Structures are given as C-alpha cells and as structure tokens.
Amino acid sequence: MQTIRTLIVDDEARIRRGIERLVLSCGEGWEVAAAVSDGFEALEYLRRSGGGVDLLITDVKMPEMDGLELIREAKKHYTFYPLVISGYDDFAYVRSALREGALDYLLKPVDREQFRERMADIRNQIASGRYRVLKWGEMEKEAAKLKESRQSRTLAAVTSAEADLASFGYWVEEFPTGRYLLSCIRLDTLPVKARSYSAKDWKAYYYALENMIGEIAGSFADGADRQAWYWRGADSDFWTLLQSGDAERDVGEDAYAMAERIRSAIRTYTPFSVSVSFGEPFEDLYLLPDAKRQALHLMNYRLIYGDNQVFRPAQEKADNRVNASSDFLALAQQLKRSIEQTRASQSAELVDKLFDKLERLDSPELLQSVLQNVVILIHSARVESQGSIGRSTPVEQELAQLKKAAHLSELKRQVNRLAGQAIRDIEASRDSGSAGPVEQAKAWIREHLGHDLTIKKIADQVHMNPTYFCECFKLQTGETILDYLTALRIGKAKELLLDPGMKLSDVSPRVGYQDAKYFSRLFKQWTGQTPTQYRDNAGI
C-alpha cells in the first residue's frame, strides 16, 4: 500500500511531538510529512509541496488561524482527509469540524489504543478513496477515448461520398469551437513489389499506417488549445482534422508541421510514400464537406509537381513554376469564379485573355504547367459547385489530353469546351434544386448582420439541416455561406468606416464581430488594408 503522508498542526511543540510519535507507532505505511505550529505555516507547506499530504491532523484552537479555518482554506486548493484533535469538549466544535469534512474528532489527552483504532479506520478510508479516484480517472480516460472514437466515426461518415448529410442533424454540437483544418493523406504510386502483397499484408500495412498517423496527430493535441482526430477514408486515403481554440495560433502552420511529420515517418518506416493536402482554415464544422473538396482539389497538384509532397493553398499562390507571371494565376482564379457563377460570356473572355498571354511565352514547359493548373481549377469549380464529380471526365484524362494537342488553338478549344461543360453542369445542378430557402436565408442574414450568426442559426430560419443547407447554398450561389456572410459584413464595415461620426471601436460589433483584433485581421485579409488604413486612405 502507498505511504500515507500526514501533516500535523498544533501550537504546542510537546503535543506536536506526541502526535508524531502516535502516528509513527501505527506501523509501516505511515509517514509524518511535516509538523507545524499554526494554520499559516500549514498552508505554506501545502503550497510548497503541491498539496502532497493525505491526512491533516490539526488542533482547533490556535493563534493566527484556527484549525477549522485552515481546513476551509486548504480544501479550496488541495485534496486531503482532515482529523481534528482538541481539548475542547464542545459539540459546536464537533459539528463544525464534521461539516468541514473532518473524518473524525478526538479529544485531548488522546488515548493511545483509541488513536490507533481510529487511524486504522482512516487508513482504510484513504485507501478506498484512492481506489475511487483511480477508478474514476480510468473511467474518465475511457470515456474520453470513447468520445474521440465516436467523433472520428462521425467525421468519417460526414466526409463519406455516400453520406446523406441531411440525416446527421446537429452533429457539430459535440465538437469544441475554434478554427479547424482538414488534411487528406493519400498513398503515392505503389512500389513494384506491392503487386505481390496478399490481403493479409495490406491489412497489416493499413493498420500500421493508421496507427502511425493517429500517433502523430495525437502528439499535436495538447488537450488545452488543440485537438486532433484521424480516420480512414475511401481507397488509400486517410484524413486528419486539427482544431485550435487559440485565435492567435496559426492552425495552418500547425497542420503543415503535422503533415511533414506524417509524410516523413511513412517514407522512413514503410515501403510507401504519401502526399498530403489541405485547404484554408474554417470555423464552422458544417463547412467540412467544402473543406474536403478543397483538399482533394489541391491533391490534384500531385499530377503536376510529383508525389511525396505537402500541398496547401500557398501552392496555388506562390509556386514559381506556375506563377512565373502573376497574371496567369489571377486569370486562372478569375476563370474559376466566373464558372462557379455560371457567367459564360465572361468565362470566354477570360480564356481569350489567357491564351493571348500564352502565345507570348517561349517556354513549352511553363505553358503546359499553366494549362494544367487551369484544367485543375475548372475541374475543381465543377466539383465544388455540384457537390460531386457526377458525369465529368476524370481530371487525369483531361490533363493527358493536353499533352496530345499539336497547336495552341487546339488547346484553347479544349479549355473552352471544359469551361462551357462545367457551366452547363453547374446550371443543371442548380436548376434541379429550389433557390427559395437560399434567398430567404440571404434576406434574414442581411437583417441580422450585426448579430452572432452561426450556420445552425441561419439554417434554422429555413427549417433545413445545417450541413445540407451548406451544400444547397454552395450549389445555388457558387460560394460558401461563410464567404457570403463575411463579404456582407466587410461591405457593411466599409460603409461604416466612411462615416466620420463612427468610432473605429464601434464598427466591429456593428457587423457581428465582438473581437476587434480578429475583425481587423479579417478586414485586412479581405481588403489588403486594416480598418484604420482604409479610413485614412478614404480621407476620413
């Protein structure tokens, strides 16, 4: 049995020594951690030792701080069993001591045999209490594991291609608030020897891969500000979801560090390599299906740059091989938006501009890279706006056809064909649904722009499941509900900032952001300027 550490408190040195001898006479398993003269000394010892005592034996009447007050104060911070010893045979003291949680109340002078009997009982109670604490801790750990497992199963179901999102209800309420980032981990081209693997071999390898990914993801979950989940997806895909409750923390950099560790570990300890991709962080878990599409879209860049890499939004924004001229990236992104918004004439104009610039290139490699990027973005626009790939040609086939073209005019026809087909597919998909709830939701959002809005609150107004509502909104508008809401709020903020009578500190709560720092960062992200700079540049 563990040693029972005892703290003795009495203002008379002779009595302290006597109680100490009595405690030690109770046999092995008893230890006197300290013997002090008053309550303040006792509290100081508890502070230094981190509350490292099991039993507190204290007198009632003492100078500075009496025993009952000591018990009250100490129990605010530490867990222990109190035993009161006093020369005052007064029922009021007995009642007060028991009310403060004392195990027992003994009168001076203490009878040796009676003391040992009481200490034997106390020993059993302490042992029983330790067992309860141990079992409770084990139960809490088991409950945490079960909750995490249940959450992972929910995430796997929500991200499944066959999931009926309308049937999941308000599943996000089981998860913490904060910023999230979803990552896709996909096996690269398999080694030649993998052709000889049996079903048993593959089962063992997938088990090892899942454990490796889970262990690394778990190391990024500190239990305070960060949590992480992982699960097996379709085919050779694995997924991780990283959450941060700290608004100042860059969850994107955390996800990149985690992705690099996963990629490196799998390359080192298995015959395989993997590529990892993830999109932009998001705050509302109802946007998880959209985050999945972003990750899958970025995974397509493996076809351009090769495997065993980490692909993230910066891949599109900063890769020099694609972005030798920033105009190419800007035009490609504009083309994607025009397709999502089903603007056929604008799409054709953008394709013309793009090929006007391509005609002036003298690098066939760069030309191919730019066109590969454009095809991936067109494919992504179709998938993100339809909610599924549908009847579209696999992007691998489209990219392969690029390399077969003999003339730039042939490539241009191919891009126009892809863009036009994507627009027609998106229009057909949107016409098959009802725009009524989406328009109702937009009107309600405009009326409540300054309130604390969540997707659940918005979806409730049109009596729709939040996840299903997100899907419908994206299909009908070509943008996510969060982007639509943010754009409205930033637009309203611009109007308020142009009002010279409006204080800067009053703008963010008027457009629904209680955290002024977060609003300022978001405003700069959308406009390229802080609210102060925007107002100064407007001459206000």
Domains and CATH numbers, the chain: 4-133 (3.40.50.2300), 172-319 (3.30.70.270), 436-537 (1.10.10.60)
Q: Are 471 and 289 in contact, with CB atoms under 8 Å apart?
A: yes
Question: Measured between alpha carbons, how far is 455 from 469 in angstroms, rounded to an integer?
Answer: 8
Mean pLDDT score, 10-27: 89
Question: Measured between alpha carbons, how far is 245 from 224 in angstroms, rounded to an integer?
Answer: 8
Listed in sequence order, the residues at least 6 apart from 276 whose beta carbon sits closer than 8 Å to its beta carbon are: 183, 184, 185, 186, 259, 262, 263, 309, 310, 311
User: Tell me: the pLDDT tens digits for 191-226?
Assistant: 888 888 998 989 999 999 999 999 999 888 876 688
505 pLDDT more than 80: yes
Answer with the residue of higher pLDDT: 91 or 94: 94
- Edge-to-edge strand order for the sheet containing 226-232? 226-232, 237-244, 179-187, 274-278, 310-311
Of 56-70, 161-175, 180-194, 391-405, give the lowest mean pLDDT range. Answer: 391-405
Mean pLDDT score, 488-512: 90
pLDDT at position 323, please? Answer: 44
Answer with the residue of higher pLDDT: 324 or 466: 466
Residue 405, classified by CB atoms within 10 Å of its CB into exposed (0-12), middle (13-18) or buried (19+), is middle
179 pLDDT more than 60: yes
9 pLDDT more than 50: yes
Q: For CA atoms 309, 313, 318, 320, give the dihedral sign.
A: positive
pLDDT at position 388, please? Answer: 47
Answer with the residue of higher pLDDT: 285 or 477: 285
- Which residue's structure tokens are 């141990």? 134
Question: Measured between alpha carbons, how far is 503 from 150 in angstroms, rounded to an integer?
Answer: 47
Name the average pLDDT for the chain: 83
Answer with the residue of higher pLDDT: 319 or 504: 504
Tokens of 34: 């300290």
Q: Are 25 and 72 in contact, with CB atoms under 8 Å apart?
A: no
39 pLDDT more than 70: yes
The residues that bridge with 86 in the sheet, in sequence order, are: 107
